[in-house]
Amino acid sequence: MQPPVLRLSGITKRFGALVANDDISLDLARGEVLGLLGENGAGKSTLVSILFGHYVADAGSIEVFGKPLPPGQPKAALASGIGMVHQHFTLADNLSVLDNVLIGTEALWSPRSHRREARERLLSTSKQFGLTVDPDARIASLSVGERQRVEILKALYRGARILILDEPTAVLTPQESEALFETLRTLIADGLSIIFISHKLDEVLAVSARVAVLRQGKLVALRDAGALNKAELAELMVGRRVDAPVREPAAAYSTSDTLLSVSELAAGDKLQHASFDVRRGEIFGIAGVSGNGQAQLADALCGLLSAAHGEIRIDGRTVSAAPRAFIAASVARVPEDRGAVGVIGDLPIWENAISEHYREPAFSRLGWLRRGAAKAEARRIVERFDVRSSSLDAPTRSMSGGNIQKLILGRALLNQPAVVVANQPTWGLDVGAVAYIHTQLLAARDRGAAVVLISEDLDELFAIADRIAVMFHGYLSEARRDWTLAEIGLAMAGSRQ
């Protein structure tokens, strides 16, 4: 038995009353992939930040290759062979691959550049691990999968022997993910060790040798991946059984019942052409890798972005590009960035509950707010949609992301809207909140609403959408009911049969 390359013993970190990491001990063997699993807020990021020297643990110690790692020093972590690939890439778009790899490795005052040797070394590293990239390509011209390869190369170039990958598949198509897993296998064959952070259970089971599960700061399980199945893993992560909502087949609404009709819509610089119809009682899913125009489509469907071409019709009437027009046309809107766009965090919960309707006679009279009516409305939303908060007067940002999302959803769904537009509604939420939001969207559908669900999470779309179309480079594919994972992956990467 070889000594572990990395050993964490008794790592504890508190933030005020919150124990983010509670006495966590782990070790990582040479050539091993360790899956690190946990819900948002379970303590994964804190643990990695401590490992990388961004935080100092209140207690516990770290050993790398048998030597203690001085706490709170990112440089020491780098020098000891720890490399990190962040979920949001840290690359300069306007520089070449080689420049990006070199940033920070050359002395600031050195009169001589080592570009030639660096280039050789980069090419040999890339050959050794089968990570082909053109060192002179500009980052901006690379696909997301290629950029991730550059991030990995950057870490390897700096001599990383332990790689930490934070949600590496979040931005990839299924095929790109498969290619990444292939790369990871090459890396461990060469003796590297990898910590793979994810909340996608299938992936973790597929690539890891062992799985560590964090829950509320505690290490609740550390087991061989072979001895686990998906359901067990979900239960370990959440701490209780989670029942996914069951999707009944769509009720028999007639096909002529088109409620939302988008024709040849182009807007902004990313959305080139989108045409689709959504019927009463249907969830219409829009898949795609992030940045292919979904954000612009969502903005247009929320009234935030005016169309350069084409139009949006609801129940046969054209809707003008203004948030108020969409609210008046009975469109429930759930924006992607719930904290920064969905609510005004500094205002109290009750003021956010009426933010879309404060002008209506129910909530204002001659320019005066009817605070009693507003608070009653907020109370209805909080009770109906299970929003947990200390008081209606508390600032909205004091709530968790899941509760903020329930408030937004409740505000949107309370008045039985005809159309629902939800962009990434479950992004970053815990399993319980995800199930709740899916249930609510399905309920809206069953009541006869036309629901548009824009998501980067294929599992989510396959679980609740009736038809799915794929966005690529601003164009929307035809909607289908019967995609296979491979087909939809190809469509997301832009290939058309």
Contact positions vs other proteins (CB under 8 A)? 15-16, 55-56, 72, 302-304, 322-324, 327, 333, 335, 340-347, 351, 355-356, 358-359, 364, 367-369, 371, 394-395, 397-398
| Nearest CB to other proteins, comparing residues 192 and 295 | 295
CB of 126 to other proteins, least distance (A): 38
Are the beta carbons of 292 and 472 closer than 8 angstroms?
yes
| Nearest CB to other proteins, comparing residues 46 and 193 | 46
| Nearest CB to other proteins, comparing residues 121 and 365 | 365
| Nearest CB to other proteins, comparing residues 74 and 130 | 74
CB of 216 to other proteins, least distance (A): 18
Of 15, 21, 122, 109, residue with least CA distance to 62: 21
CB of 27 to other proteins, least distance (A): 25
CB of 134 to other proteins, least distance (A): 38
| Nearest CB to other proteins, comparing residues 55 and 276 | 55
CB of 60 to other proteins, least distance (A): 14
CB of 324 to other proteins, least distance (A): 4
| Nearest CB to other proteins, comparing residues 145 and 339 | 339
CB of 207 to other proteins, least distance (A): 34
- Cα–Cα dist 90/19, whole Å: 29
CB of 5 to other proteins, least distance (A): 27
| Nearest CB to other proteins, comparing residues 244 and 344 | 344
| Nearest CB to other proteins, comparing residues 177 and 403 | 403
CB of 495 to other proteins, least distance (A): 35
- Cα–Cα dist 384/380, whole Å: 6
| Nearest CB to other proteins, comparing residues 20 and 139 | 20
